[in-house]
């Protein structure tokens, strides 16, 4: 039986078993490869997407458990402009290898939607489940503060 999903504002029909992780639906069926496979057990955050604005680990959400609209890194900005958080990431030169960055950005975007002007402690708490092997945590924090300022100025 086909399942209907709303992903990045577009409706998609997928005919897959109910227990297929959302991560593989996004990557293999829809072709949205910005969401990365990291660990497969929700411990690294590389697969973070939003469902109805909530940051979730797509490797652990079964297709049948998707409860709302899905936003991936590809849907965060617009076709003509990156989201402010993505702009801040570039300005702060956060990425080194870049593998974890889509998950980091999606987690940060959810944080800023809930807490528009987070403290360092709030950032650290919100981002604790997203791992970066390159250790760019100080730049991640700086980018979140920068994006916060940009969002408040708008």
Residue range 24-41, pLDDT digits in tens = 999 999 999 999 999 999
pTM of the model: 0.95
How far is Cα 79 from Cα 91, in angstroms, rounded to an integer?
19
The set of residues, in sequence order, having a beta carbon less than 8 Å from that of 106 and lying 6+ positions away, is 48, 49, 50, 55, 71, 72, 73, 76
133 near 73, Cβ under 8 Å? no
**Domain boundaries, given as residue ranges, for the chain:** 3-75, 84-153
Topology annotation, domain 3-75 = Ubiquitin-like (UB roll) (3.10.20)
pLDDT of 78 reads 77
Answer yes or no: is pLDDT of 4 > 70.
Answer: yes
Encode pLDDT of 8-20 as tens digits: 999 999 999 999 9
Topology annotation, domain 84-153 = DNA polymerase; domain 1 (1.10.150)
Answer yes or no: is pLDDT of 98 > 70.
Answer: yes
How far is Cα 121 from Cα 133, in angstroms, rounded to an integer?
21
């Amino acid at each position: 039986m086909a399942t209907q999903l709303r992903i990045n504002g577009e409706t998609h029909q997928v005919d897959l078993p109910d227990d297929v992780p959302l991560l593989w639906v996004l990557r293999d069926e829809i072709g949205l490869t910005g969401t990365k496979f990291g660990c497969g057990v929700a411990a690294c955050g590389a697969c973070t997407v939003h469902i109805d604005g909530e940051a979730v680990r797509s490797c652990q959400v079964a297709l049948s458990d998707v409860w709302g609209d899905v936003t991936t890194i590809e849907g965060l900005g617009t076709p003509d402009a990156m989201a402010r958080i993505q702009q801040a990431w570039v300005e702060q030169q956060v990425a080194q290898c870049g593998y974890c960055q889509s998950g980091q950005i999606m987690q940060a975007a959810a944080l800023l939607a809930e807490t528009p002007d987070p403290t360092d402690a709030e950032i650290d708490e919100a981002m604790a489940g997203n791992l970066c092997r390159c250790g760019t945590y100080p730049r991640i924090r700086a980018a979140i503060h920068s994006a916060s300022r940009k969002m408040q100025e708008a």
